[in-house]
């Protein structure tokens, strides 16, 4: 609910268990009155506008508590601004780098699904410049989407020098930040740090999101939250380009959070009459700890962000991917053999990875030439696609559209189509360069090439890869390339999905290098990491689960001896870990005997029984890996009829007690039975008992070493 009190010019955004309140003060400045969890109950306004706006002490002129909803650069310069603009001076005089925004008007719209959008218009009293602070409230899912729209109402161009999607002012305190950082094959490593006084940055300085920092945060008071208790403020950016999240912890304990475009090498010119809308910052607050925050982000992404295919897919299909089985050694015969084995074990989507096009026999050539290689598939890909369809599976292909190998026909024809500075070296990563999405002809060329691939080969699924960061970012678009690249990718994906409504897409960037709420609006799932070692994946997947739902997180079972780490793990462990997301298979099925294939089939059949609960249920991290070297996760359906409890021990910590997993979200009075893959019943107990005493994680087996794992399926039986 959005309530407005015209007397005090106060807006109350009241959500299921949280609120955000703001007001236009007597000077017309729109300031934040507060935000945070609220007691569950009727949606009544919280702030009346009677209390002082600025509860922080002021030290000299440094108004450390300044809580404008849009912080502008001009009257002061010592805080991070949301917005900084340079206007041309009158008669060629000094440019004016000063914006003040004052309340002009507002409107509240309601969507058919119940979401409400508050748009507050703010004008500069002198310059012909307006901004709209936009807040879309999803009261049921407890998430606010915030973005800023700006317009040059003058008759000369203006330069925007810094622009965030939003600035949030959190209550005073010493804060801890939980987020995820990493690198190739080690994405999403969770990090928990006490914010120092000063500004802490999470950022990407590439044309894509990257995996150095992932664009989300969970904030709690120092020592004030765990997985199921305590106040947590959370947020994530719906943007897949260079981004920045800045956490400004002031000496007086105020915390300001800014999220949006990175100011690094930023430039945005607005012509007369031109408008720009930023991507959204999604944010909220809850009182039920880190799992509570994650659950809200998961539900929002599932319900409001992830695309809907036509017909809709209630659950993600079981995938097979050829990469670790075939690498670049593709042939029609080998792929058909893999497809037959895949179908026989229960796979629903068969995807051919890299190497099917141009001169792409290894990673040094062919990227950019999106024609089926006659050398590899002399009769084209259609016979394979047809066979895959005949076997009852969907057909998928790997592409990496944004890139080119210098050894390719495309590059030979258009050496200027890549990011570069004239007469300067062009740094290659994995022997490839990035196409210049500042050129409309590049984006148009790719739109045609991709549509042709999908159309001619009856493609149902694209694994869309992006395997390097930017260097020498020279573009015909100038500094705007940092935005244009992501906008071009969005336009390509949106265009394809409009034209092929049944198509689904996976976002891959050397693994989890482009995962964010912006790309997830046009991709159905993401490739979490090239690291498929089940034990290494526990931390990777746990970090990803802080922000992203299991439904979107693609996880493969691969070889007994892992290709990335060389570690050998039992098949059960590999399945137990991969079943925590959207299951895929990456093993060389042609090298397995019938008994092994039969085991795969049994696991896949089990996964199909539990996947609705895993993919669409509520996720509780019952025990974090960092706590005792073991990770225990529960997924429970909202109606409490079913739950899945997954335990994986990664380390053995001698003499350290692994506490029983106290389940959550069950019906206290109902009786539940817990079954394993083979329908063996382990326990039968009431919901209240399972929540109060918990389930012994090793189920009395006494086994508890690295690689010990178990997936139990709980069903309400009375
Ligand atoms: C990237 C991806 C892999 C695979 C290869 C193909 O590394 O992350 O999964 O698709 O490219 O070259």
- For residue 525, the Cα-to-chain-centroid distance in whole angstroms is 10
Whose alpha carbon is nearest atom 2 of ligand 1? 510
Whose alpha carbon is nearest atom 7 of ligand 1? 510
Please report the DSSP string for 154-189 in residue order. SSS-EEEEEEEEEEEEEPSS-EEEEEEEEETTEEEE
Would you state the pLDDT for residue 425? 97
Cis, peptide link before residue 222, omega less than 30° from 0? no
As a whole number of Å, the end-to-end CA separation of the chain is: 38
Q: How far apart are CA 20 and CA 67, in angstroms?
A: 13
Q: How far apart are CA 258 and CA 181, in angstroms?
A: 18
Query: Measured in angstroms, how far is the CA atom of residue 510 from the centroid of ligand 1?
Result: 6
* Closest of 214, 253, 208 to residue 237, by C-alpha: 214
Q: How far apart are CA 128 and CA 154, in angstroms?
A: 5
Would you state the torsion angle of the CA atoms of residues 251, 254, 260, 262, taken in this order, to the nearest 10 degrees? 0
Query: Measured in angstroms, how far is the CA atom of residue 16 from the centroid of ligand 1?
Result: 42
**Cα–Cα distances in angstroms (integers) from residue 203 to residues 179, 184, 619, in the given order:** 12, 16, 27
For residues 208 and 240, the answer to whether their CB atoms sit within 8 Å is: yes
For residue 153, give the 3-state DSSP assignment: coil
Closest ligand 1 atom, residue 509 Cα: 8
Q: How far apart are CA 543 and CA 530, in angstroms?
A: 15
Would you state the pLDDT for residue 443? 98
Parallel, antiparallel, or unpaired: how do β-strands 553-557 and 618-623 relate? unpaired
Query: What residues of the chain score a pLDDT lower than 70?
Result: 52-65, 654-658, 699-704
Closest ligand 1 atom, residue 508 Cα: 8
Would you state the pLDDT for residue 25? 93
Query: Measured in angstroms, how far is the CA atom of residue 513 from the centroid of ligand 1?
Result: 11
Parallel, antiparallel, or unpaired: how do β-strands 129-138 and 116-123 relate? antiparallel
Would you state the pLDDT for residue 124? 97
Q: How far apart are CA 586 and CA 326, in angstroms?
A: 10
* Closest of 622, 548, 633, 532 to residue 583, by C-alpha: 532
Residues 6+ away with beta carbon under 8 Å from 403 = 367, 368, 432, 433, 434, 435, 466, 467, 468
Whose alpha carbon is nearest atom 11 of ligand 1? 510
Closest ligand 1 atom, residue 510 Cα: 8
Parallel, antiparallel, or unpaired: how do β-strands 525-527 and 553-557 relate? parallel
Mutate to test the pocket of ligand 1, among 185, 208, 210, 323 (most ligand atoms within 8 A of CB): 323
Read off the pLDDT of residues 651-693 as tens digits, 9 standing for 90 and up.
877 656 667 889 999 999 999 999 999 999 999 999 999 999 9
**Cα–Cα distances in angstroms (integers) from residue 225 to residues 220, 339, 496, in the given order:** 6, 48, 43
Please report the DSSP string for 419-487 in residue order. S--TTS----BTTBEEB-TTSHHHHHHHHHHHHHHHHHTT--EEEE-------S---TTGGGHHHHHHH
Going along 250-287, which residue ranges are E strands? 255-261, 268-270, 275-277, 281-286
Q: How far apart are CA 282 and CA 683, in angstroms?
A: 41
Would you state the pLDDT for residue 657? 62
pTM of the model as a whole: 0.97
Task: Give the ranges where 279-392 is alpha helix by DSSP (H).
Answer: 289-300, 323-326, 332-345, 382-390
10 Å Cβ neighbour count for 200? 17
Mutate to test the pocket of ligand 1, among 396, 508, 556 (most ligand atoms within 8 A of CB): 508
For residues 324 and 587, the answer to whether their CB atoms sit within 8 Å is: yes
Catalytic positions, written as ranges: 465, 530
Query: Measured in angstroms, how far is the CA atom of residue 166 from the centroid of ligand 1?
Result: 35
Mutate to test the pocket of ligand 1, among 467, 556, 586 (most ligand atoms within 8 A of CB): 467
**Cα–Cα distances in angstroms (integers) from residue 368 to residues 364, 449, 484, 633, in the given order:** 12, 10, 19, 42
> Exposed/middle/buried for 42, CB within 10 Å: 0-12, 13-18, 19+?
exposed
Mutate to test the pocket of ligand 1, among 321, 352, 354 (most ligand atoms within 8 A of CB): 354
Question: Token pair of 37, please?
Answer: 């969890």
Would you state the pLDDT for residue 60? 46
Would you state the pLDDT for residue 190? 97
Mutate to test the pocket of ligand 1, among 320, 353, 509 (most ligand atoms within 8 A of CB): 353
Would you state the torsion angle of the CA atoms of residues 40, 44, 49, 51, taken in this order, to the nearest 10 degrees? -40
Query: Measured in angstroms, how far is the CA atom of residue 468 from the centroid of ligand 1?
Result: 11
For residues 382 and 389, the answer to whether their CB atoms sit within 8 Å is: no
Helix 332-345 / helix 382-390 crossing angle, nearest 10 deg: 20
Closest ligand 1 atom, residue 511 Cα: 8
**Cα–Cα distances in angstroms (integers) from residue 357 to residues 399, 465, 497, 531, in the given order:** 9, 15, 22, 25
Signed CA dihedral, 2, 4, 8, 9: sign only: positive
Would you state the pLDDT for residue 553? 98
Local structure of residue 550 (DSSP, 8 states): G
Tell me the β-bridge partners of 142. Answer: none
Whose alpha carbon is nearest atom 8 of ligand 1? 510
Whose alpha carbon is nearest atom 6 of ligand 1? 354
* Closest of 133, 119, 124, 29 to residue 85, by C-alpha: 124
Query: Measured in angstroms, how far is the CA atom of residue 704 from the centroid of ligand 1?
Result: 34
For residues 227 and 622, the answer to whether their CB atoms sit within 8 Å is: yes
Query: Measured in angstroms, how far is the CA atom of residue 465 from the centroid of ligand 1?
Result: 7
* Closest of 702, 680, 683 to residue 693, by C-alpha: 683
Query: Measured in angstroms, how far is the CA atom of residue 478 from the centroid of ligand 1?
Result: 30
For residue 326, give the 3-state DSSP assignment: helix
* Closest of 79, 250, 60, 73 to residue 171, by C-alpha: 250
> Exposed/middle/buried for 344, CB within 10 Å: 0-12, 13-18, 19+?
middle
Would you state the pLDDT for residue 696? 82
Closest ligand 1 atom, residue 363 Cα: 12
Query: Measured in angstroms, how far is the CA atom of residue 577 from the centroid of ligand 1?
Result: 21
Would you state the pLDDT for residue 658? 67
For ligand 1, which residues put their CB under 6 angstroms from it? 323, 353-354, 398, 465, 467, 508, 510-511, 527, 530
Q: How far apart are CA 176 and CA 707, in angstroms?
A: 31
10 Å Cβ neighbour count for 501? 12
Whose alpha carbon is nearest atom 5 of ligand 1? 354
- Domains, the chain, with CATH or none: 2-38+67-305 (2.70.98.60), 319-614 (3.20.20.70), 620-717 (2.60.40.1180)
Query: Measured in angstroms, how far is the CA atom of residue 327 from the centroid of ligand 1?
Result: 9
Q: How far apart are CA 645 and CA 633, in angstroms?
A: 6
Q: How far apart are CA 339 and CA 350, in angstroms?
A: 7
Whose alpha carbon is nearest atom 9 of ligand 1? 530
């Amino acid at each position: 609910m959005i309530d407005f009190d015209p007397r005090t010019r106060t807006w109350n955004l009241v959500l299921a268990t949280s609120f955000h309140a703001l007001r236009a003060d007597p000077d017309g400045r729109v300031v934040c009155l507060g935000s945070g969890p609220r007691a569950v109950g009727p949606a009544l306004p919280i702030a009346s506008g009677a209390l002082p706006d600025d509860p922080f002490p002021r030290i000299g002129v440094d108004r450390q508590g300044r809580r404008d909803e849009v912080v502008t650069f001009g009257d002061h310069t010592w805080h991070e601004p949301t917005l900084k603009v340079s206007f041309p001076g009158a008669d060629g005089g000094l440019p004016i780098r000063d914006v003040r925004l004052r309340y002009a008007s507002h409107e509240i719209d309601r969507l058919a699904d119940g979401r409400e959008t508050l748009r507050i218009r703010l004008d500069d009293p002198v310059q012909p410049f307006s901004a709209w602070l936009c807040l879309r409230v999803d009261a049921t899912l407890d998430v606010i989407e915030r973005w800023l729209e700006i317009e040059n109402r003058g008759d000369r161009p203006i330069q925007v020098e810094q622009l965030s999607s939003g600035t949030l002012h959190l209550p005073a305190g010493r804060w801890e930040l939980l987020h995820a950082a990493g690198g190739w094959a080690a994405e999403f490593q969770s990090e928990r740090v006490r914010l120092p006084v000063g500004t802490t940055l999470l950022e990407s300085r590439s044309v894509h999101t990257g995996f150095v920092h992932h664009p989300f945060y969970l904030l709690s008071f120092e020592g004030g939250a765990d997985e199921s208790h305590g106040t947590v403020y959370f947020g994530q950016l719906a943007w897949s380009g260079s981004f920045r999240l800045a956490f400004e912890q002031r000496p007086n304990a105020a915390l300001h959070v800014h999220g949006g475009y990175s100011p690094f090498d930023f430039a945005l010119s607005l012509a007369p009459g031109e408008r720009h809308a930023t991507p959204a910052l999604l944010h909220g607050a809850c009182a039920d700890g880190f799992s509570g925050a994650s659950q809200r982000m998961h539900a929002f992404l599932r319900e409001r962000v992830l695309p809907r295919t036509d017909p809709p897919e209630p659950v993600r299909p079981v995938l097979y991917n050829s990469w670790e089985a075939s690498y670049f050694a593709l042939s029609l015969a080998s792929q058909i053999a893999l497809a037959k084995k895949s179908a026989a074990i229960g796979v629903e989507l068969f995807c051919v990875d890299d190497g099917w096009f141009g001169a792409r026999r290894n990673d040094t050539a062919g990227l950019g030439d999106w024609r089926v290689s006659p050398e590899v598939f002399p009769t084209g890909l259609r016979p394979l696609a047809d066979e895959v369809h005949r076997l009852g599976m969907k057909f998928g292909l790997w592409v990496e559209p944004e890139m080119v190998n210098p050894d390719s026909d495309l590059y030979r024809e258009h050496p200027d189509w890549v990011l570069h500075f004239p007469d300067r070296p062009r740094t290659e990563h994995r022997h490839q360069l990035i196409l210049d999405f500042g050129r409309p002809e590049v984006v148009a060329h790719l739109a045609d090439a991709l549509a042709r691939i999908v159309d001619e080969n009856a493609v149902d699924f694209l694994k869309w890869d992006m395997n390097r960061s930017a260097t020498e970012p020279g573009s015909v678009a100038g500094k705007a390339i940092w935005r244009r690249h992501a906008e071009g990718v969005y336009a390509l994906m949106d265009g394809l999905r409009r034209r092929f409504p049944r198509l689904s897409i996976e976002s891959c960037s050397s693994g989890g290098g482009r995962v964010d709420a912006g790309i997830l609006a046009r991709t159905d799932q993401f490739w979490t990491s090239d690291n498929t070692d089940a034990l290494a994946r526990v931390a990777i997947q746990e970090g990803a689960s802080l922000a992203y739902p299991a439904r979107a997180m693609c996880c493969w079972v691969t070889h007994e001896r892992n290709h990335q780490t060389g570690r050998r793990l039992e098949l059960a462990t590999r399945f137990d870990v991969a079943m925590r997301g959207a299951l895929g298979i990456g093993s060389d099925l042609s090298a397995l005997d019938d008994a092994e294939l039969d085991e795969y089939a049994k696991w896949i059949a089990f996964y199909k029984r539990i996947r609705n609960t895993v993919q669409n249920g509520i996720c509780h991290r019952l025990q974090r890996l960092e706590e005792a070297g073991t990770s225990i996760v529960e997924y429970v359906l909202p109606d409490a009829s079913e739950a899945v409890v997954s335990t994986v021990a990664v380390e053995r910590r001698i003499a350290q007690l692994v506490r029983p997993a106290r389940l959550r979200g069950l019906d206290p009075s109902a009786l539940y039975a817990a079954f394993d893959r083979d329908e063996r019943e382990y326990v039968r107990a009431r919901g209240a008992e399972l929540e109060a005493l918990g389930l012994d994680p090793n189920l009395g087996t006494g086994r508890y070493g690295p690689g010990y794992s178990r997936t139990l399926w709980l069903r309400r039986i009375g």
